[in-house]
Amino acid sequence: MRLDWSVVWQNAPALAEGTLLTVVLTVVTMLIAVPAGIVLAMMRLSGLRLLSGASAAYVEFFRNLPLILVVYWAYYVMPVAVGVQLSGFVTGLVALCLNVSAYNSETFRAGIGSIRKGQTEAALALGMSRWQVMREIVLPQAARRVLPVLASTWVSLFKDTSLVSVIAVGELAYTAMRIRSQTFRVLEMLTAMAAIYWALGYPQAKLVDWLHRKFPVSE
Amino acid sequence: MSAPPVLTYREVRKLFGSFVALGGVSMQVERGQVMCLIGPSGSGKSTLLRCTNGLETIDGGEILLDGVALARDERGLRDMRRRMGMVFQNFELFPHRTVLANVALGPRIVLRMDEAAARERAEALLEKVGLADKAGGYPANLSGGQQQRVAIARALAMEPEVMLFDEPTSALDPETIGEVLTVMKRLAEEGMTMIVVTHEMTFARRVADWVVVFERGLILEQGPPAQIFEAPHVERTREFLSHLGWEG
């Protein structure tokens, strides 16, 4: 079998564009899913039945469905539900956000729950409102504590964005597969794709390790 | 007509499930008074302190601050908490903030003072508790005694009418207890109204104006320290003190 790597270089611009879209998807998903996760976690911990019930239902629903199913689901259901045909990018983004928000919610819930009750009491004793206590005392400490977990989620998400290729979003996986089917250079394109994911994923994973060491779970 | 007591407790009751933490406690704290609450663990003295600033809600009776019943709603409670400083057994400094920021946080967030004024007040208070040189450090780098002095400064930053101390030296190494008690003693001499839950009998004997002995959610006996420590009216008081090794 002869390998012809020139196909990779010839399609470098397309692959670069795909890679960029993968990064954009990851970043934008996280930018939405982190605040959404905080809101869901606070709803869950609010003590108000309706809010915490809604949050729990959401989280358990999306956390326990395969992401690829949510992607298809968004693709077919969203146009009907919203009444407009959304682009593949937006559809894919919605599906990723639905999934990652659910995970982030659980991460933040655990983080908030890990802050000692005495911290809240000390802040309340100063005369702070519940919201001020959350904003000034609990969330900043919880955020620090969940940072390594969020970073792990980030690395998973970076790879999971490849799933939106099934609805023709032109990110890295889709682009590589498209070139493969056009040129029939299967092994070269899969290898190139693997190399790019790995080269970008590895430093991120190392960053996570570093965060785990920098912010160990401790009192 | 004399001013009403800073704090008045009337038949205060508190239950945890079926456990009676406070079974009807009545007492009052006059302005400038230093009151020590003593008694065995689980006798209700800490619970009374926590009920005073609404960290626990009472199940019966009433607590009055300057003659006004303690608020039940969130906003009213907040206004009253501003007027009471609380010091906890485990310090509960905010570990993500510097020492200075810990002290300045209340004035800045709750009193909405501007940054510079809050900072100035915090610096003055750190000076007062002898920790001006630690202002830029983080709580984790301080000894227990130093952390508790910062916690006292943090409470004082709200310029409270009364300070509540919940076993402030119980979590400390013996060698740092003294520095905290010294700060508290100085505060007492300046005329601060204080309620102190403590097992430090020497402090209670020397600094308190009034000592209240708790047992099983009730007041066993109260009076000036000379009475409690030298000539208790109730035999149980004598027994409790002798268990602690107090010889009178």
3-state secondary structure B65-121: ECCEECCCCHHHHHHHHCCEEEECCCCCCCCCCCHHHHHHHHHHHHCCCCHHHHHHH
Task: Report residue B103 as tokens.
Answer: 């002290």
Q: Where are the alpha helices (DSSP H) in A46-160?
A: 49-63, 67-82, 88-113, 117-125, 130-132, 139-160
Chain B residue numbers with beta carbons less than 8 Å from the beta carbon of A119 are 92, 94
pLDDT, residue A216, reads 63
> Closest Cα partner for B173 from B149, B133, B151, B144?
B144
pLDDT, residue A3, reads 84
> In chain B, whose CA is at the least distance from the CA of A141?
B96
Chain B residue numbers with beta carbons less than 8 Å from the beta carbon of A140 are 96
Q: Is the pLDDT of residue A42 over 50?
A: yes
Mean pLDDT of chain A: 90
Looking at residue A114, what DSSP letter applies?
Answer: T
The label of the residue with tokens 């809604």 reads A54
What's the gap in Å between the CA of B50 and the closest CA on chain A? Answer: 10
Sign of the CA dihedral running A17, A18, A19, A21 = positive
Strand pairing partners for B62? B10
| CB neighbour list of residue B76: distance below 8 Å, 6 or more residues apart | none
Residues B80-137 have pLDDT tens digits of: 999 999 999 999 999 999 999 999 999 999 999 999 999 999 999 999 999 999 999 9
Chain B residue numbers with beta carbons less than 8 Å from the beta carbon of A143 are none
pLDDT, residue A80, reads 86
pLDDT, residue A218, reads 47
| CB neighbour list of residue A128: distance below 8 Å, 6 or more residues apart | A136, A137, B78, B106, B109, B110
| CB neighbour list of residue A104: distance below 8 Å, 6 or more residues apart | A33, A34, A36, A37, A38, A40, A41, A150, A153
Residues B121-179 have pLDDT tens digits of: 999 999 999 999 999 999 999 999 999 999 999 999 999 999 999 999 999 999 999 99
Report the alpha-carbon distance of residue B118 to residue A121 in Å, rounded: 22
Report the alpha-carbon distance of residue B165 to residue B181 in Å, rounded: 11
Mean pLDDT calculated for residue range B17-44: 94
ipTM: 0.93
pLDDT, residue B2, reads 67
Report the alpha-carbon distance of residue B36 to residue B14 in Å, rounded: 20
pLDDT, residue B104, reads 97
Q: Is the pLDDT of residue A217 over 70?
A: no
Chain B residue numbers with beta carbons less than 8 Å from the beta carbon of A122 are 86, 88, 92-94, 151
pLDDT, residue A219, reads 45
Question: B84-87 and B162-166 as β-strands: parallel, antiparallel, unpaired?
Answer: parallel
What's the gap in Å between the CA of B227 and the closest CA on chain A? Answer: 33
CA distances from A149 to A18, A44, A108, A134, B86 (A): 27, 19, 9, 20, 35
Q: What is the pTM of this model?
A: 0.85
Residues B182-232 have pLDDT tens digits of: 999 999 999 999 999 999 999 999 999 999 999 999 999 999 999 999 999
For residue A20, count other CB atoms closer than 10 A to its CB: 12
